[in-house]
Structures are given as C-alpha cells and as structure tokens.
C-alpha cells in the first residue's frame, strides 16, 4: 500500500459561486422548485443555443427518461430497444411503463449502440429506441434516425454522459431526436448533486413532462403561490410522479452550467495526457470523435486491456487500489444482471462485443479537480502494473 492519500475515481468541483447561490436560496425561503429551477431551465436552453428547444428540470436523468417515454406514449405491450452496455436506468424506465426491453450489442470501435443491430431488433411492437452517448462520445444519431423515422419509432437520447458533446458541430441536445436527457449526478460533467434535464422541440411532450413530473398537477406550485390574486385551485389531470428539481439543486446548476465548457477543456487535457502516456502499452485507449472538430465530453476515460497485457482486468484494478487509486468499470452489461438475464433469457453469447469489452475494461480517474501530479500518479501506477 502507498503512503500517499487515496486518489478517488471522481470528485465534483464546487466553487464559491455555487456555494453563495445555495446560501442565497436557503435565505430566500423558496427551497423547492421555484424561480431558480425556472432560471436553470432558461439558462439551459440558452446554453444549447437553440430557442426552439424547451427544457424540463427533473430530479434525475432516470426521471427524465421515464417522463420522455411516458410522454411519447410507451406503455404495456410496447418494446423499447437499448444497449446492453449501459447502467440499468436506461432500460428500467421502459419496465416502469409495462413495456418490454430489447437489448442489443455495441459497436466495438465506438462502444456505442450498434445501429445495425437495432435494425435487426425492430418488430411491429417497437415504440422507441434509447441510444446512449457512451462515456461522452456521440453515437451515430443521423444513421439511427434514418432507420427509425420512416417507421414512426421514437428516439430518446440518453445523454447522461454527453454535456457538452457535439456531433457535426451541433451540441447533443440540439440534434433531431424526439427528446434528450442529461444527468447532473455527482460524478457527471456538471453536477447538481442529483438532477437532470429533459430537452425537446416537441411542445406537447414538454408540457406532458412538466405535468407528470409533479403528481399530474396542471399548475406549478411556483405559479400558484406567487400569483397576484388568490390561486389556490389546481386540478390533477393524470397520475403523475414526484420528479421535480429543487431550487437548491438548481442554484448549483446555474453556475455549473456556466463552467461546462471550461470543465470540458480540462477533461480533454487530462485525456490527452493519458493518451500520450499510454500509447506504448498493451491496451486500447478510448475512441475519439470521427470528426476531430467535434467535442467529446470525457465523462469517462475507459481503457481496454489487449491480449498482450501481462495481467487481467481485475488484477489491474487491485494493483491500482493498492497504489491508492480509485477506478471503476462502466458497465457490468445488463445481460449479466439477474433481473435482465432471467426475464429475457439472455446470455453473453448474444452480446459478444459488450462481453469482450466488459472483461477487459477499466475506467480511470478523470475529473476537473485532478492536478497534473494526480494524473501522473495514475499514469505511473498503470505503467508499473503493465510492466513498463
């Protein structure tokens, strides 16, 4: 073991502006969904740079995905296609609505969903596809839309990793899907602690999501409690959920959003340091955008050991931990988890690329509070473990 302090896998970067905004919120007397949540939604649309978008702040990306699927009419008897190589939230939201999930494999070059396998998985029951922009690299959305649009299949982007990712010079969130959902969980590229944002150009979808995020009430509490005339009356128009984002969280988000581009540049620089240091090692470095002008959000830096590596993945993780370095694996594919495996009779042989990648992958620390010395610690530990 090392005498150096433990270097965690991820840490949020919270500045004095965020702290002051939260304190201001606490002193304001309005701590749940209110004026700052609304400001955050407006700021997010402005950040996207597309006034045709609407943004709906929610308490998690999981909530946003659920609301989006509900709003496009996914229900019992429908099928939703997504990748096996994701966190369970991407798939479980379809089950909330009584729909079935069809998992498909990934493209081994990009680690994103294989659009060709999506096409093979489509049936008359297919209602929606949930692609994931894995690790912050944009998936081939135009190809997916060319497949789904003529069939009337909805596309909801899981962009939990993808702020501020671009594709063809356009930010993910401004592309041509039905809706896009971002995550602001503690380890994401910006954070509100817990939280997310649903963005869409579909006004009816946005309105349905707003109603359903707070119990199916037809008026926001902020509107009811700040009106100039008595406005206590409201109606429940649907059996909704409790998915609203608090003003405390939105206060964080307002300033985190303002730093998103700078955060991306810092992550990009750290990824470049890793890329250069690992060039001669028996591992595959993360894929980069096909167009060098596009941005990778670098939520994750995932390496894959090659067959020439002197140790296996688990041994690498153990050696890094012994050196005081946290790391992770993204992800244990859904087809290996008991619920998904048993419900749909899944096996590794059905997902050879995801399985192969999973057995060899490690996510290394990559976050904006890392110093060059921190990055060098990781580099040195990886090189030692691989005999260099």
> Is the Cα torsion angle 262, 265, 271, 274 positive or negative in sign?
negative
Burial of 225 (0-12, 13-18, 19+ CB in 10 A): exposed
- Say how far apart CA 361 and CA 176 lie, in whole Å: 32
pLDDT in tens, 217-276: 987 765 655 555 567 788 999 999 999 999 999 999 999 999 999 999 999 999 999 999
Cis? peptide before 256, omega within 30° of 0: no
Residue 142: count other Cβ atoms within 10 Å of its Cβ: 13
Among 102, 188, 228, 266, which one carries the catalytic annotation?
188
> In the prediction, which pLDDT does 229 show?
56
**Residue 154 among the catalytic residues:** no
- Say how far apart CA 216 and CA 133 lie, in whole Å: 30
Helix, strand, coil percent values for the chain (each to nearest 5): 40, 15, 45
Name 180's bridge partners. 157, 199
Encoded tokens for 362? 């490690």
Q: What is the mean pLDDT of residues 372-385?
A: 98
CATH architecture observed for domain 16-104+111-258:
3-Layer(aba) Sandwich (3.40)
C-alpha Rg value of the chain to the nearest Å: 21
Closest CA to 175 of 140, 210, 203: 140
- Say how far apart CA 239 and CA 217 lie, in whole Å: 9
CATH 3.40.50.1370 assigned to domain 260-385? The reply is no
pLDDT in tens, 108-127: 999 999 999 999 999 999 99
Q: Give the angle subtended at the CA of 248 by the CAs of 12 and 157, to the nearest 5°.
A: 65
Residue 229: count other Cβ atoms within 10 Å of its Cβ: 4
Cis? peptide before 331, omega within 30° of 0: yes
Residue 151: count other Cβ atoms within 10 Å of its Cβ: 10
Domain with CATH 3.90.1150.10 in the chain: 260-385
> In the prediction, which pLDDT does 258 show?
98
pLDDT in tens, 283-339: 999 999 999 999 999 999 999 999 999 999 999 999 999 999 999 999 999 999 999
> Do the bridges between strand 170-171 and strand 166-167 make them parallel or antiparallel, or are there none, so unpaired?
antiparallel
- Residue showing tokens 């999930």: 101
Q: Give the angle subtended at the CA of 377 by the CAs of 373 and 380, to the nearest 5°.
A: 130
Do 181 and 53 contact (CB within 8 A), yes or no?
Answer: no
Label residue 2 by pLDDT band (50, 70, 90). confident
Do 153 and 122 contact (CB within 8 A), yes or no?
Answer: yes
Residue 57: count other Cβ atoms within 10 Å of its Cβ: 30
Label residue 3 by pLDDT band (50, 70, 90). confident
Instruction: Report how far Cα 195 is from the mean position of its chain's Cα atoms.
Output: 11
- Residue showing tokens 């690790």: 135
> In the prediction, which pLDDT does 234 show?
87
Is 279 in a helix, a strand, or coil? coil
């Amino acid at each position: 073991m090392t005498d150096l302090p433990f270097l965690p896998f991820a840490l949020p970067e919270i500045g004095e502006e965020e702290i002051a905004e939260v304190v201001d919120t606490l002193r304001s007397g309005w701590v749940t969904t209110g004026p700052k949540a609304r400001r955050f939604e407006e700021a997010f649309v402005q950040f996207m740079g597309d006034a045709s978008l609407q943004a709906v702040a929610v308490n998690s990306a999981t909530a946003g995905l659920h609301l989006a699927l509900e709003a496009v009419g996914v229900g019992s008897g429908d099928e939703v296609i997504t990748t096996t190589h994701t966190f369970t939230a991407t798939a479980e939201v379809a089950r909330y609505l009584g729909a079935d999930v069809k998992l498909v494999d990934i493209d081994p070059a990009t680690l994103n969903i294989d659009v060709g396998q999506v096409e093979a998985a489509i049936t008359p029951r297919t209602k929606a596809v949930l692609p994931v922009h894995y690790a912050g690299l944009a998936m081939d959305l135009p190809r997916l839309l060319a497949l789904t649009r003529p069939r009337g299949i909805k596309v909801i982007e899981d962009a939990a990793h993808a702020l501020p990712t671009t594709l063809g010079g356009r930010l993910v969130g401004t592309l041509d899907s039905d809706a896009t959902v971002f995550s602001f969980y503690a380890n994401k590229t910006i954070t509100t602690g817990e939280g997310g944002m649903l963005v869409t150009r579909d006004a009816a979808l946005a309105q349905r999501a707003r109603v359903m995020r707070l119990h199916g009430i037809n008026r926001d509490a902020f509107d009811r409690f700040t009106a100039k005339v008595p406005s206590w009356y409201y109606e429940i128009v649907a059996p909704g959920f409790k998915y609203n984002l608090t003003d405390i969280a939105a206060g964080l988000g307002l300033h985190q959003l303002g730093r998103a581009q700078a955060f991306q540049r810092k992550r990009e620089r750290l990824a470049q340091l890793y890329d250069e240091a690992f060039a001669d090692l028996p591992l595959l470095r993360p894929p980069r955008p096909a167009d060098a002008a596009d941005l990778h959000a670098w939520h994750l830096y995932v390496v894959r050991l090659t067959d020439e590596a002197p140790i296996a993945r688990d041994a690498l993780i153990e050696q890094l931990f012994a050196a005081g370095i946290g790391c992770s694996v993204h992800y244990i594919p859904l087809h290996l988890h008991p619920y998904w495996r048993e419900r749909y009779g899944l096996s590794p042989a059905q997902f050879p690329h995801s399985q192969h990648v999973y057995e060899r992958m490690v996510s290394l620390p990559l976050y904006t509070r890392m110093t060059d010395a921190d990055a060098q610690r990781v580099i040195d530990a990886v090189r030692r473990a691989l005999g260099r």
